[in-house]
Amino acid sequence: MSILPIVMWPDPRLKRVCDEVGVIDGAVAQLVSDMFETMYAAPGRGLAAPQVGVMQRLFVMDATWKEGVKSPLVCINPEIKRLGDELSTNEEACLSIEGVAADVTRPNQVELTYTDLNGARAAMLLQGFEAICAQHEVDHLSGRVIFDHLDDTARAVLEIEYKAAVV
Ligand code: NI
């Protein structure tokens, strides 16, 4: 296992659409294991492959470990099947945009299909914080980050804050 370097905004890799994962082999399993180690060390609750420079549709998350309960989840080739009608606004942070947080409004329920590490297609329904976290990670696979959910003014303010924080 190894901790991978995290790609930081505004690296162009964070703005690109990722490719589908093909065969789930030992290299994918190793990547997943390294991504978990990187995420827990950061410390974060979610990490998408482009954040470690791998332009493939895959993310790991664990929305509850900081509260003492581990719930690791690997989603390969995830697809959002349905979004709930109810919206909620939460402060979201991102390991690739350190030092700032944005108020992002999203549906607080999501139904996802994905492939697991055994190559089996699975489905799940996530609620609340887990649903928010999963949508944030799926966004990364489409080249979207928290800034892309803001209006022009809020985005400009946050980008200035971020530039000041990283200097
Ligand atoms: Ni992120």
To the query of whether residue 137 is one of the catalytic residues in this protein, the response is: yes
Q: Is residue 106 scored above 90 in pLDDT?
A: yes
What is the CA(109)–ligand 1 centre distance, in A?
18
Distance, C-alpha 106 to centroid of its chain:
14
What is the CA(145)–ligand 1 centre distance, in A?
6
- Catalytic pick from 37, 67, 130, 137? 137
pLDDT given for residue 57 in this prediction: 98
pLDDT band at 165 (very low <50, low <70, confident <90, very high): confident
What is the CA(122)–ligand 1 centre distance, in A?
23
| Digit-coded pLDDT (tens) for 43-99 | 999 999 999 999 999 999 999 999 999 999 999 999 999 999 999 999 999 999 999
Structural domains in the chain, CATH included, are 12-166 (3.90.45.10)
The DSSP bridge partners found for residue 82 are 111
